[in-house]
A and B are shown apart, each in its own frame.
Chain A
Amino acid sequence: DTGVSQDPRHKITKRGQNVTFRCDPISEHNRLYWYRQTLGQGPEFLTYFQNEAQLEKSRLLSDRFSAERPKGSFSTLEIQRTEQGDSAMYLCASSLMDTEQFFGPGTRLTVL
Protein backbone atom coordinates (compact mmCIF):
# COMPACT_ATOMS: atom_id res chain seq x y z
CA ASP A 1 0.00 0.00 0.00
CA THR A 2 1.65 3.26 -1.10
CA GLY A 3 -0.90 5.66 0.40
CA VAL A 4 -0.56 7.95 3.39
CA SER A 5 -0.19 6.00 6.63
CA GLN A 6 -0.72 7.14 10.18
CA ASP A 7 0.26 5.56 13.46
CA PRO A 8 -1.32 4.81 15.82
CA ARG A 9 -4.86 4.48 14.52
CA HIS A 10 -6.31 4.90 17.99
CA LYS A 11 -4.90 6.47 21.14
CA ILE A 12 -6.51 6.67 24.55
CA THR A 13 -4.75 8.80 27.12
CA LYS A 14 -5.39 10.47 30.42
CA ARG A 15 -5.70 14.21 30.71
CA GLY A 16 -2.33 15.83 31.23
CA GLN A 17 -0.34 13.20 29.38
CA ASN A 18 1.68 13.88 26.23
CA VAL A 19 0.93 12.07 22.99
CA THR A 20 2.75 11.84 19.67
CA PHE A 21 1.34 10.81 16.31
CA ARG A 22 3.24 9.87 13.20
CA CYS A 23 2.39 10.37 9.55
CA ASP A 24 4.16 8.81 6.59
CA PRO A 25 3.23 10.58 3.37
CA ILE A 26 3.27 9.22 -0.15
CA SER A 27 6.99 8.97 -0.85
CA GLU A 28 7.40 11.52 -3.61
CA HIS A 29 5.08 14.13 -2.06
CA ASN A 30 6.83 17.24 -0.80
CA ARG A 31 3.86 18.77 1.01
CA LEU A 32 2.39 17.36 4.21
CA TYR A 33 -0.65 18.64 6.09
CA TRP A 34 -2.26 18.04 9.47
CA TYR A 35 -5.98 18.50 10.09
CA ARG A 36 -8.23 17.87 13.06
CA GLN A 37 -11.79 16.59 12.79
CA THR A 38 -14.34 16.46 15.59
CA LEU A 39 -17.54 14.47 15.47
CA GLY A 40 -20.06 15.80 12.99
CA GLN A 41 -17.73 18.46 11.62
CA GLY A 42 -15.46 18.80 8.65
CA PRO A 43 -11.69 18.70 9.07
CA GLU A 44 -9.97 21.87 10.26
CA PHE A 45 -6.51 22.81 9.07
CA LEU A 46 -3.74 22.76 11.67
CA THR A 47 -0.43 23.14 9.83
CA TYR A 48 1.49 22.19 6.71
CA PHE A 49 5.04 21.56 5.59
CA GLN A 50 6.83 21.91 2.32
CA ASN A 51 9.72 19.50 2.58
CA GLU A 52 11.06 20.10 6.10
CA ALA A 53 9.86 23.71 6.40
CA GLN A 54 6.70 24.42 8.35
CA LEU A 55 5.03 27.08 6.21
CA GLU A 56 1.79 27.81 8.02
CA LYS A 57 0.18 27.16 11.38
CA SER A 58 -3.44 27.68 12.28
CA ARG A 59 -4.48 29.64 15.32
CA LEU A 60 -6.03 26.34 16.40
CA LEU A 61 -2.53 25.07 16.99
CA SER A 62 -1.96 26.18 20.57
CA ASP A 63 1.43 26.21 22.28
CA ARG A 64 0.74 22.66 23.46
CA PHE A 65 0.84 21.42 19.88
CA SER A 66 4.05 20.99 17.93
CA ALA A 67 4.69 19.40 14.57
CA GLU A 68 7.93 18.44 12.91
CA ARG A 69 9.09 17.02 9.63
CA PRO A 70 12.80 16.71 10.26
CA LYS A 71 13.99 15.17 7.01
CA GLY A 72 11.18 16.19 4.75
CA SER A 73 9.68 12.71 4.85
CA PHE A 74 7.56 11.55 7.81
CA SER A 75 6.05 14.00 10.25
CA THR A 76 5.14 13.89 13.93
CA LEU A 77 2.46 15.83 15.77
CA GLU A 78 2.89 16.10 19.53
CA ILE A 79 0.28 17.30 21.98
CA GLN A 80 1.55 18.16 25.42
CA ARG A 81 -0.57 18.20 28.57
CA THR A 82 -3.60 16.83 26.75
CA GLU A 83 -7.05 18.17 27.56
CA GLN A 84 -10.44 16.57 27.00
CA GLY A 85 -11.08 19.10 24.26
CA ASP A 86 -8.21 17.60 22.29
CA SER A 87 -10.26 14.46 21.67
CA ALA A 88 -10.67 14.28 17.91
CA MET A 89 -9.56 12.54 14.75
CA TYR A 90 -6.18 13.83 13.58
CA LEU A 91 -5.79 13.54 9.83
CA CYS A 92 -2.63 13.77 7.79
CA ALA A 93 -2.51 14.46 4.06
CA SER A 94 0.21 14.83 1.47
CA SER A 95 0.49 16.25 -2.01
CA LEU A 96 2.82 17.33 -4.73
CA MET A 97 3.03 21.01 -5.54
CA ASP A 98 0.25 20.84 -8.10
CA THR A 99 -2.00 17.93 -7.15
CA GLU A 100 -4.87 17.26 -4.81
CA GLN A 101 -4.27 16.21 -1.21
CA PHE A 102 -4.32 12.52 -0.36
CA PHE A 103 -5.48 11.74 3.15
CA GLY A 104 -4.45 9.04 5.57
CA PRO A 105 -6.90 7.03 7.71
CA GLY A 106 -6.38 9.27 10.72
CA THR A 107 -5.50 8.81 14.38
CA ARG A 108 -8.46 8.90 16.75
CA LEU A 109 -7.47 10.46 20.07
CA THR A 110 -9.57 10.03 23.20
CA VAL A 111 -8.57 11.99 26.27
CA LEU A 112 -10.13 10.70 29.48
Chain B
Amino acid sequence: SQQGEEDPQALSIQEGENATMNCSYKTSINNLQWYRQNSGRGLVHLILIRSNEREKHSGRLRVTLDTSKKSSSLLITASRAADTASYFCATGGSNFGNEKLTFGTGTRLTIIP
Protein backbone atom coordinates (compact mmCIF):
# COMPACT_ATOMS: atom_id res chain seq x y z
CA SER B 1 0.00 0.00 0.00
CA GLN B 2 1.11 3.58 -0.54
CA GLN B 3 2.44 5.46 2.45
CA GLY B 4 1.37 8.86 1.29
CA GLU B 5 0.04 11.03 -1.41
CA GLU B 6 1.54 13.77 -3.51
CA ASP B 7 -0.40 16.88 -4.31
CA PRO B 8 -1.17 17.91 -6.96
CA GLN B 9 -1.44 14.75 -9.05
CA ALA B 10 -0.48 16.74 -12.12
CA LEU B 11 1.09 20.16 -12.63
CA SER B 12 1.85 22.13 -15.79
CA ILE B 13 3.91 25.32 -15.69
CA GLN B 14 5.85 27.53 -18.06
CA GLU B 15 9.58 27.08 -18.36
CA GLY B 16 11.36 29.33 -15.91
CA GLU B 17 8.60 29.26 -13.31
CA ASN B 18 8.91 27.52 -9.96
CA ALA B 19 7.17 24.21 -9.28
CA THR B 20 6.01 23.12 -5.86
CA MET B 21 4.85 19.61 -5.01
CA ASN B 22 3.58 18.41 -1.67
CA CYS B 23 3.70 15.03 -0.02
CA SER B 24 1.72 13.80 2.96
CA TYR B 25 2.44 10.58 4.78
CA LYS B 26 0.75 8.55 7.47
CA THR B 27 3.19 7.06 9.94
CA SER B 28 6.27 8.23 11.80
CA ILE B 29 9.39 8.28 9.67
CA ASN B 30 13.16 8.35 9.98
CA ASN B 31 13.68 10.06 6.66
CA LEU B 32 11.87 11.19 3.54
CA GLN B 33 13.29 11.10 0.04
CA TRP B 34 12.27 12.52 -3.31
CA TYR B 35 12.75 10.64 -6.57
CA ARG B 36 12.24 11.64 -10.20
CA GLN B 37 11.06 9.26 -12.91
CA ASN B 38 11.21 10.20 -16.56
CA SER B 39 8.88 8.50 -18.99
CA GLY B 40 10.02 4.95 -19.57
CA ARG B 41 13.06 5.24 -17.34
CA GLY B 42 14.02 4.26 -13.84
CA LEU B 43 13.85 6.32 -10.69
CA VAL B 44 16.56 8.82 -9.92
CA HIS B 45 17.25 9.84 -6.34
CA LEU B 46 17.06 13.60 -5.84
CA ILE B 47 17.38 14.37 -2.15
CA LEU B 48 17.01 12.85 1.32
CA ILE B 49 15.87 14.75 4.39
CA ARG B 50 16.03 13.23 7.85
CA SER B 51 13.31 13.53 10.44
CA ASN B 52 15.38 15.94 12.55
CA GLU B 53 15.91 18.29 9.60
CA ARG B 54 13.44 20.95 8.49
CA GLU B 55 14.89 22.12 5.20
CA LYS B 56 17.46 20.98 2.69
CA HIS B 57 18.79 22.36 -0.57
CA SER B 58 20.42 20.74 -3.58
CA GLY B 59 21.03 22.93 -6.61
CA ARG B 60 17.62 24.14 -7.81
CA LEU B 61 15.81 21.85 -5.38
CA ARG B 62 14.53 22.82 -1.97
CA VAL B 63 12.84 20.30 0.31
CA THR B 64 11.03 21.03 3.54
CA LEU B 65 9.77 18.60 6.13
CA ASP B 66 7.15 19.18 8.82
CA THR B 67 6.92 16.07 10.96
CA SER B 68 4.13 17.55 13.09
CA LYS B 69 1.94 17.76 10.00
CA LYS B 70 3.44 14.64 8.41
CA SER B 71 4.13 16.55 5.23
CA SER B 72 6.96 17.55 2.92
CA SER B 73 7.30 19.83 -0.05
CA LEU B 74 9.63 19.86 -3.03
CA LEU B 75 10.34 23.16 -4.75
CA ILE B 76 12.05 23.25 -8.14
CA THR B 77 13.17 26.75 -9.02
CA ALA B 78 13.69 28.14 -12.51
CA SER B 79 12.16 25.07 -14.14
CA ARG B 80 13.53 23.64 -17.38
CA ALA B 81 12.00 21.40 -20.02
CA ALA B 82 14.22 18.58 -18.77
CA ASP B 83 12.42 18.72 -15.41
CA THR B 84 9.35 17.20 -17.06
CA ALA B 85 8.87 13.93 -15.16
CA SER B 86 6.94 12.26 -12.37
CA TYR B 87 8.11 13.07 -8.86
CA PHE B 88 7.65 10.71 -5.95
CA CYS B 89 8.20 11.08 -2.26
CA ALA B 90 9.29 7.98 -0.38
CA THR B 91 9.68 7.27 3.29
CA GLY B 92 12.41 5.04 4.59
CA GLY B 93 12.76 2.98 7.69
CA SER B 94 16.29 3.89 8.69
CA ASN B 95 18.31 7.02 9.24
CA PHE B 96 20.20 6.44 6.03
CA GLY B 97 17.31 5.50 3.77
CA ASN B 98 18.78 2.15 2.84
CA GLU B 99 15.90 -0.09 3.84
CA LYS B 100 12.65 -0.59 2.05
CA LEU B 101 11.05 2.54 0.71
CA THR B 102 7.34 3.30 0.76
CA PHE B 103 6.40 5.57 -2.13
CA GLY B 104 3.60 8.04 -2.64
CA THR B 105 1.41 8.19 -5.72
CA GLY B 106 3.48 10.81 -7.53
CA THR B 107 3.07 14.21 -9.16
CA ARG B 108 3.31 14.43 -12.95
CA LEU B 109 5.13 17.66 -13.77
CA THR B 110 5.04 19.10 -17.29
CA ILE B 111 7.23 22.07 -18.18
CA ILE B 112 5.91 23.99 -21.16
CA PRO B 113 8.73 25.50 -23.26
Contacts and interface: CB of A to CB of B under 8 A. Distances in A.
B67 interface: no
28 contacts: A41-B2, A41-B105, A41-B106, A43-B43, A43-B101, A45-B100, A45-B102, A48-B99, A58-B100, A91-B42, A91-B43, A93-B43, A95-B98, A98-B98, A99-B96, A99-B97, A99-B98, A100-B97, A101-B45, A101-B97, A101-B98, A102-B45, A103-B35, A103-B42, A103-B43, A103-B44, A104-B42, A106-B42
Interface residues of B, number: 23
Interface in A57-112: 58, 91, 93, 95-106
B65 interface: no
Interface in B39-71: 41-45, 48
Nearest to B96: A98
Closest 10 CB pairs of A and B: A42-B103, A103-B42, A103-B43, A98-B96, A45-B100, A100-B45, A105-B42, A95-B98, A42-B88, A43-B103
Contacts of B41: 105
B109 interface: no
Nearest to A108: B40
Q: Range of interface residues on chain A?
A: 20 to 34
Contact of B2 (A4, A35, A42): A42
Given A41-B2, A42-B88, A98-B96, 7 more contacts: A42-B2, A42-B90, A58-B100, A91-B42, A91-B43, A96-B98, A106-B42
A22 interface: no
Contacts of B2: 41-42, 44
